Amino acid sequence: MEYLVGKTAGFCYGVKNAVEKTKQSIQKEGDPICCLGELVHNSEVIRSLKNKGVCFIDNLQQNPQKYKTIIRAHGVPKEVYKKAEENKIELIDLTCPKVLKIHKIVSEYNQKNYYIFLIGSKVHPEVIGTASFCGKDVNIIENYDDINIAIDNFKKSNRKKAAIVVQTTFSIEKFNKIVNNIKEKVENVEVINTICNATKIRQEETAEISKKVDYMIIIGGKNSSNTKKLYEISKRNCNETICVESSQEIDVQKLKNKKIIGIMAGASTPQISIENVINLVENT
């Protein structure tokens, strides 16, 4: 049996930076540290950080002791910064630089009186945070059904120009289709492709590997947006594609008699999870 492992599998820069700096903060602080939401979409990483003393909270009200609080790589709505200041809660801002760049972009376009089309998942924390920096004239477009509604809202607004930005981990293929659809109906629209380059390369590599194998294993958190997209991309080329958080979820019997197995992991997947899957495949 052969196997191919994606070179881009595992932690992206933003996630790696957030995890490493969180561990450093744990060592420095005597008091517990809070984190707004899951630091990364991976249960194994979260479990490890909880064991080290990190307290995960959904909002600042759940931190009455006013412990230092981490802002994860996805970022937060700008109101959180104001509430933290009002409540004298010190923040450890680990927002990914790529996400911070989008916040700056949409703030500037809002000031220039652009209507903003924000392409991405409506429930994803990155998108929710970014939307708060767009002002009131913004529409989140997740699916094709959202396009006409967004365009109607744009036409009803006082804005004459529109700008398009996108969630850093969004599907490149879907982004291009949505953009083309908008451009057919809106003349004065500026497109800023804010998909992270690491996301683009990982999606492209997943597509390439999935065409060469007869079984594909995608490793990542169940609630990880970028992992879900890797699964969807792989599934189009390799029907026998599975998505797991750990090697324990893999049915070894299904690996037998396979000629080539592909392995790829999402941006929130730790190296140990990838190594465990590789070891399982090697010993099957």
- Is residue 126 part of the annotated active site? The answer reads yes
Say if residues 94 and 49 touch (Cβ distance below 8 Å): no
Torsion of CA 238, 243, 248, 249, to 10 degrees: -90
Nearest Cα to Cα of residue 230 among 158, 276, 171: 171
Q: ∠ CA(136), CA(140), CA(142), 5° rounding?
A: 175
Question: What gap in Å lies between CA 284 and CA 279, rounded to an integer?
Answer: 9
Helix (H) or strand (E) holding 206: helix 197-210
Which of these is catalytic: 29, 44, 108, 126?
A: 126
Sign for the CA dihedral angle at 26, 32, 36, 37 comes to positive
Catalogue the active-site residues: 126
